Amino acid sequence: MNDYLSGLARMADQIGRNFATRPADEAVAGIAEHLERFWDPSMRRDLADAAAAGRVNVSAVVGKALESLS
């Protein structure tokens, strides 16, 4: 895994931890909204593609948020 992708995964998981106290569906929606508002589309796409291909590991809730953006 390269530094760029591991950095994206780390940042996304940090965002996910900020939503940890919310119900799962709210957390997924909140993470997805944050990624849409503050991340460049290429960053979202790169992380989603890498997570789907198993090249990076993200938390389950972040994975669901990425899937919801597709």
Mean pLDDT, 10 residues at a time, the chain of 70 residues: 92 97 97 98 97 96 95
Domain that holds residue 24: 3-69
The set of residues, in sequence order, having a beta carbon less than 8 Å from that of 12 and lying 6+ positions away, is 31, 35, 47, 58, 62, 65, 66
pLDDT at site 70: 78
Number of folded domains in the chain? Answer: 1
pLDDT at site 1: 60
φ/ψ of residue 46, rounded to 5 = -60, -45
